[in-house]
Amino acid sequence: MTLKVQDLDIIYPVDGGDLVACQNISLSVQPGEFVTVIGPSGCGKSTLLHAMGGMLRPTRGTVEADGTVITGPDPRKAAFVFQDYSLLPWKTVIQNVEIGLIFAGSTKKDARRIAVEKLERVGLAGYRDMYPRQLSGGMQQRVAVARALALEPEYLLMDEPFGALDEQTRRALGVDLGERLSKSGRGVVLITHSLEEAVYWADRVIVLSSRPGRIVKEIQVHGDRPRPLEFMTTEGFTEVRAELFSLIESGSSQEIA
Amino acid sequence: MSGRERHEAPGMDARPHDAPTGRDRTSPLGGRGPAGSAREGRPQRLFRRSNVSSAWITFGLLGAVLGAWETSVAVGALDGRFLPPPSRVASGIIALSGESAVRTALAQTAYALAVSFAIGTAVGLLIGMLLGMNRLLRDAFLPLVIQLLGIPKSVFLPLFILAFGLGHGPGIAFGVLLSSIQVIINVVGAIDSIDTVHYQVARAYGASRFSTFRNVILPGAAPGIFAGMWHGIRNAFVGVVVAQLFVSSIGVGYLVRSYTATFRIADALALIFFVAFVVILVGNAWGVLERRISRWREPLGG
Ligand SMILES: Nc1ncnc2c1ncn2[C@@H]1O[C@H](COP(=O)(O)OP(=O)(O)OP(=O)(O)O)[C@@H](O)[C@H]1O
Ligand SMILES: [Mg+2]
């Protein structure tokens, strides 16, 4: 399945006029491709991701999955991992992994079987009967990832999944998860604020301008995934990182001026 | 889109102080301490650790007050005819428990309380859920309910007598009015306290409305709803007793009225203390239940 965004505009009606969050965005994500989206805060990244997942209707333009226009969320095509603390605090870890499947219409029995398996996959089998607040932030995000993976989606849509974590945790989690996702062959769209993350994980980095969010640049990152941590010391990595840095810097200085 | 920042408290800002809601996350009994958001476990733990010594202080103070009262009457500083000492009140309780009039009155009050709580809660839950989940209904009716909360409802009592006579009617009806308002406010607050990201999860994973209700709204609001139900009981009780005290010719309220009118002050006090004690017991039992269903909100290891 190819996920395709075409001439997308998203305008929020707000008091005192329209707020243009995304402008003229076109992009496509191939099966198994890992795309990261980076851009200044408030530029419309989440808005774009939500539109790609059918969570909100574009003002103009379309989002298509293999040529069919997406009109609503379909977690088996594209499953969300939300920013943070999106686990249901009143459900245990295992119930949280199940709930995506149950929402999507699976039977309780199937949901349990798959949830157990996915929880094992993210290394949290021993925590199945705990409540989210008894887990660290990083563990909670792994549960949220397991919840999404449980649907065996063709794409994973991740909105700054590790935004709230410290540098070290997110790197460890990132390496681990990046490897898993690369091996699973799923397509991923990941929003991040971290330049390292954006480059290290991605086949392609999409840079958005400050609001209204437009695509400033798409940069291909070479090198097979999963990548070793040393990838961050290669020239390929540092070059792309430097380019991103200057793009984002010039973007945000414009914003201030 | 993260919702957290944009999650506002629609229309609830004018909430008066005596209407704790799910958002406040305090137990009606203060048992869980000044619990803040789900991620602030510490104040609760501190509170818990000091529980033993704080209980000593509480009981010490109670004992001191009772002791002072007893001695004041003994030395003649207080007039025992108007304020009988605790020892006489205590023996009054024992004596009264044998009187059939008292048993009947207690049964009448318990019955009125049960009925008015059942109706008040059912009405409160239904209206609270509707207002909590429907924007239009909320905007139309919630302000009214909040206004109603602010005015002293006992001024309506005479109307209740006209409408319901002197038997069980006015007590039950007044209890229903008081308790349903509390339950409505608390249920709306409890539903509001659910983070929008949880609704987004439900939608993103294709949840039906029923499934969202069952897995998100109901469990998310349950602790607040439970706290609201306690306010419901409390207010049903206030409504029932106040109505009996002033207008009915049945129940504990009426008995207290007739005791004081005939100068059986010790008996009146005995009845009052006994009822207060029962209410406190029920409140504590309710608190235990409430903590059990909000286990997910407890701090680490809770
Ligand atoms: N439901 C909404 N109604 C009105 N305006 C909105 C809504 N959601 C987002 N916006 C606005 O649209 C713009 C883009 O928001 P969005 O959440 O997509 O940004 P973002 O790039 O994800 O930011 P961040 O990096 O801080 O998460 C912001 O100015 C935001 O205020
Ligand atoms: Mg965002």
* pLDDT for residue B270 is more than 70: yes
* pLDDT for residue A103 is more than 90: yes
Token match 């996702």: residue? Answer: A181
Which is more confidently placed, B240 or B44? B240
- Average pLDDT of A137-166? 90
Token match 């709930």: residue? Answer: A99
Q: A240 and A195 share a domain?
A: yes
CA–centroid distance, residue A78 to ligand 2 (Å): 18
Residue A43 within a domain: yes
Residue B271 within a domain: yes
Whether residue B296 and residue A89 make contact (CB cut-off 8 A), yes or no, is yes
Residue B14 within a domain: no
Ligand 1 atom closest to the CA of A160, numbered from 1: 27
User: Which residues of chain A neighbour B295 with C-beta distances below 8 Å?
Assistant: 131
Omega prior to B34 cis, within 30 of 0: no
Ligand 1 atom closest to the CA of A47, numbered from 1: 18
Q: A203 and A228 share a domain?
A: yes
Residue B19 CA to residue B15 CA, distance in Å, equals 7
Question: For atom 6 of ligand 1, which residue has the closest CA?
Answer: A12
Amino acid at A3: L
| Cβ B129 vs Cβ B180: under 8 Å | no
pTM of the model as a whole: 0.79
Most B-contacting residue of A57, A88, A211 (CB-CB within 10 A), to test interface: A88
Residue A61 CA to residue A66 CA, distance in Å, equals 16
Residue A141 CA to residue A146 CA, distance in Å, equals 9
User: Which residues of chain B neighbour A91 with C-beta distances below 8 Å?
Assistant: 215, 219, 296
CATH code, domain with B264: 1.10.3720.10
∠ CA(B112), CA(B116), CA(B120), 5° rounding? Answer: 175
Token match 């608390």: residue? Answer: B186
Nearest CA in chain B to A53: B204
**pLDDT given for residue B220 in this prediction:** 93
Domain final position from A152, A170, A192: A152
| Cβ A34 vs Cβ A181: under 8 Å | yes
For B130, residues 6+ apart whose C-beta sits below 8 A from its C-beta are: B137
Whether residue B211 and residue A103 make contact (CB cut-off 8 A), yes or no, is yes
Going by pLDDT thresholds of 50, 70 and 90, the confidence category of residue B177 is: very high
Whether residue B220 and residue A50 make contact (CB cut-off 8 A), yes or no, is no
Q: A95 and A106 share a domain?
A: yes
Per-position DSSP letters for B33-77, written without gaps between them: -S--STT--HHHHHHHHTHHHHHHHHHHHHHHHHHHHHHHHHTTS
Whether residue A86 and residue B200 make contact (CB cut-off 8 A), yes or no, is yes
pLDDT in tens, A23-51: 999 999 999 999 999 998 889 999 999 99
Angle in degrees, 0-180, between the axes of helices A167-184 and A137-149, rounded to the nearest 10: 20
Residue B269 within a domain: yes
- Average pLDDT of B59-88? 88
Residue B35 within a domain: no
Q: A56 and A162 share a domain?
A: yes
* pLDDT for residue A254 is more than 70: no
Taking the C-alpha atoms of B238, B244, B250 and B254 in order, what is their torsion angle to the nearest 10 degrees?
Answer: 110
Whether residue A47 and residue B301 make contact (CB cut-off 8 A), yes or no, is no
pLDDT in tens, B122-134: 999 999 999 999 9
Q: How many interface pairs between A and B have CB atoms less than 8 angstroms apart?
A: 88
- Structural domain containing residue B188: 100-295
* pLDDT for residue B27 is more than 60: no
CA–centroid distance, residue B2 to ligand 2 (Å): 6
Q: A133 and A100 share a domain?
A: yes
Domain final position from A152, A178, A198: A152
Ligand that comes closest to the CA of residue A37:
1
Residue A143 within a domain: yes
Ligand that comes closest to the CA of residue A41:
1
Nearest CA in chain A to B210: A103
Give the minimum alpha-carbon distance from B206 to chain A in angstroms, rounded to a whole number: 5
CA–centroid distance, residue A132 to ligand 1 (Å): 27
Whether residue B203 and residue A73 make contact (CB cut-off 8 A), yes or no, is yes
Most A-contacting residue of B205, B217, B218 (CB-CB within 10 A), to test interface: B205
User: Which residues of chain A neighbour B211 with C-beta distances below 8 Å?
Assistant: 102-103
ipTM confidence score:
0.90
Question: For atom 14 of ligand 1, which residue has the closest CA?
Answer: A44
Among the partner-chain residues B200, B205, B222, the one whose CB lies closest to the CB of A100 is B205
Q: A224 and A159 share a domain?
A: yes
Q: A73 and A12 share a domain?
A: yes
Residue A215 within a domain: yes
Q: A148 and A160 share a domain?
A: no
From A9, A46, A189, A252, give the residue whose CB has the most ligand 1 atoms within 8 Å, as the site to mutate: A46
Residue A9 within a domain: yes
Which of A132-146, B18-32, B287-301 has maximum average pLDDT?
Answer: A132-146
Going by pLDDT thresholds of 50, 70 and 90, the confidence category of residue B10 is: very low
* pLDDT for residue B17 is more than 50: no
Mean pLDDT of chain A: 89
- Structural domain containing residue A166: 3-77+155-250
Q: A163 and A246 share a domain?
A: yes
Residue A209 within a domain: yes
* pLDDT for residue B37 is more than 50: no
Q: A31 and A143 share a domain?
A: no
**pLDDT given for residue A4 in this prediction:** 94
Label each residue of B4-18 as H, E or C.
CCCCCCCCCCCCCCC
| Protein residues whose CB sits closer than 6 Å to any atom of ligand 1 | A 12, 14, 19, 21, 41-47, 211; B 1-2
Most A-contacting residue of B7, B201, B208, B295 (CB-CB within 10 A), to test interface: B201
CA–centroid distance, residue A46 to ligand 1 (Å): 7
Q: A8 and A69 share a domain?
A: yes
User: At A110, which helix (H) or strand (E)?
Assistant: helix A108-121
Residue A108 within a domain: yes
- Average pLDDT of A229-248? 90
Residue B112 within a domain: yes
* pLDDT for residue B25 is more than 50: no
Residue A40 within a domain: yes
Residue A185 CA to residue B142 CA, distance in Å, equals 51
How many domains does chain A divide into? Answer: 2
* pLDDT for residue B28 is more than 90: no
Residue A257 within a domain: no
Which of A205-214, B77-86, B196-205 has maximum average pLDDT?
Answer: B196-205
Whether residue A133 and residue B201 make contact (CB cut-off 8 A), yes or no, is no
Percent of chain A with pLDDT over 90: 64
Among the partner-chain residues A86, A132, A134, the one whose CB lies closest to the CB of B201 is A86
**pLDDT given for residue B36 in this prediction:** 34
- Tokens representing residue A226 in the block: 């999963």
Domain final position from A122, A152, A182: A152
Per-position DSSP letters for B85-147, written without gaps between them: -HHHHHHHHHHHTT-HHHHHHHHHHHHHHHHHHHHHHHHHHHHHHHHHH-HHHHHHHHHHHHH
How many domains does chain B divide into? Answer: 1
**pLDDT given for residue A169 in this prediction:** 79
Give the minimum alpha-carbon distance from A176 to chain B in angstroms, rounded to a whole number: 24
**pLDDT given for residue B50 in this prediction:** 57
pLDDT in tens, A178-220: 777 878 888 999 999 888 889 988 999 999 988 889 999 999 9
Q: A38 and A160 share a domain?
A: yes
Which is more confidently placed, B23 or B248? B248
Helices and strands (DSSP H and E) totals, chain B: 12, 0
